[in-house]
Every structure is written in C-alpha cells, then in structure tokens.
Structure 1
Amino acid sequence: MSQLNGNLTMARGSVAATLSRAAVDWMVNTVDLSTLLDQLNLDRLGVDEVFIPSLQVSEDFDMPGRFTKECVQKGHILDSITRAEIWVYSTVPCLTRNYRHSVCVFGIEDLNRLSKNKRLSANKIRTEFDYSIVECVHELLFNRTYLEQIDNPLNMSYYANRQEILYHKNRLYRNESFKLDCNTNHSTWA
C-alpha cells in the first residue's frame, strides 16, 4: 500500500456515498488511509461527513471516479443520487409527519413517490414505525427484478447526463468542448 502525499481538499457531505468498484478497490487495496482516518478522528463531530467527500474532490489524491471541487468553490452543490431523504426544512412534505433527527421517517404513505424516485436508497425507514413500507418496497423490487414489472421504466439518460458522470467521462476521454455545468440540479422527487 502506498501512503498518500498531497494536499487534501476538505469537503463535507453526506455519510452515504455511491462509489465505483475502482474507487473501493483503490481505498482498500492501493492506498493506506489509516493516517488520514486517525487525523480525522481527532475531531469529535462530523468526521463521517468529511472522509469520503474529501477524497471525492481532492485532485492530489486522484481517487478513481472522483469529482471536482470546482462546483463547491463556486457555491454550487449538486444533489446526490445516493439517498432520498426529506429534511424538516424541505419544501417537500413529509407525508407521515414523523421525523427522527430532523429527517422524515418514510411510511406506506410514501410508497408511490419512493417507487418513482431516482435515488438509489431511502433514508429514513424504521421498521418499528411502519414495517409495511419495508415489505412493500421488497415486493416492488422483487416484481421489477424477477417478474419484469415495468411500472416505472428506468430512464438511463437521467444518470448518464449527470455532471459527475460527464465530468468523469471527460477525464477518461478528453473532449475540448466539455464544460462543467455546476448550475445543474436534478430534482428526484415526483
């Protein structure tokens, strides 16, 4: 394993992350992140919200599939595809009107809109609050996977045209006409 040398661009983001297989392999088998983790663990708050986001925007470390700090430096934050969540201050209503740590707890009331949501996971679902949402989402995923239920066709262009993907493709196959659009914001709520 190699020790990382370079300047780490600090970034804060979600604890949840969507990483490429190459990025995970890099983190586990190529670099030694123990010193970085030890240094981050000296702080008591928000360490889990700094580790992956910082690796994702640090050009010196060049993690596979990384993004850029350019949008954040301009004050633009692109929404994430990793996790669907509704914060207490959101304009999107919490249909259950139940919150935990300022995040809406989804229930069966949310099944329709979660089934149409483009994000890869949902936060928060609590079985002790409403187990039916868990069972219904399981059935929905089973039906889509094994019974070829096509109630909401997957729109691959939504994912393929996201700025993170276009940026990564441009890193691999240089296109002189490529321009990063930090103003793009994809709404994932129906």
Structure 2
Amino acid sequence: MTGSELWIVRHGPTEWSRAGRHTSVTDLPLLPEGEDDARALRDRLAHLDPALVLTSPRLRARRTAELAGFPDATLDDDLVEWDYGDYEGLTTATIREQVPDWTIWIGPTPGGETAAQVTARLDRVIAAVRATDGPVLAFAHGHSLRALTARWLGLPVSDGRLFRLDTATISVLGYERDSPVVIRWNS
C-alpha cells in the first residue's frame, strides 16, 4: 500500500471548461489548444512506466490520454466527472441566481450525484490504485480529481474545494512513510 503513487492528469481545455460551464455528461472535444496542451504532456510523462493507466470514458479525457502517449488506457466509469444533473452546462454564477452561495462541494445537485455517490465511486478507484504494484496514471476531470485527492487524504469530497486544478496539469499523490500525501500539485 505505501509504495503506491497515483499520477493524475486533468484533461486539456474544452469550450465549456474555458467558459466555466459545468461539464459532466456532455461529451465535448478538446479545443485545438487543448490538443496541443495534451501533446505537451507526452514528454513530461515519458519517464513514467505506469503499472496501470486509467481514463474516464469521456472524450476529453480519453483524447488527452491518447495525445499524452497512452492510447490504450483502460476506461474506468468511476473516474467520470461529478454529475451536475440539472446544472449541466451552467456556470456557477447562473446557478447562484437561483441558489445563492451554491458550490458543487456543498450545494444540492438536482438530478445529479450526491457527495456520498461520488465518494463511493472514487473510493473504488483508490482501492484499485492501492492494490496495484507500481504507479498508476489516471486521466479525468477537475471536480472528480479534486474530490479524489480529498479521498486519497482521508478527507470528505467537499474538501476537494481546497485543491484548485487547472486543465492539462499533472499532480502526484503518494505517501510519506505511512501517511497519504500530495507529492506534486497542478504542475
């Protein structure tokens, strides 16, 4: 368990991520600069020899994995973005017109996922990582990876709000002695 590392990569930018629109089930392609950003990850990940490569099944994550040099990544439905339900495609500012102070971390998500549901699926990802002998590389989404980081550290998914995560960045989760830690963030 304490030898596991989880390398997480947020997909490159899409039209909606650039505009701050919540994107979970809408399967948008990367912007042309998002494809360039994903290609730039290839050299940064070339030294890594992962025992397992996972990706969200969404096009933006799969394409990022492919362009970063991992076209055979295993699809993992547990890595999908938080399901925003009725808030799909809306910005936080638009949602707050009806629900003041709303955030995905504490607010309701009508028609979407609860924090408990997100916790259950991300805990399955963590169990798979910790059962793997060697580093694991995972391509996914902003909120799901921030929530995954919180769960890695033993925190509630709502503490994902503490981890800003930009598009096309690499972060590494691991251990210091027996304690789960963030080794590198948003690099």
- TM-score (normalised: structure 1): 0.27
Higher relative contact order, structure no. (Cα contacts within 8 Å, ≥ 6 residues apart): 2
User: Rg bigger for which structure?
Assistant: 1
Structure with higher strand content: 2
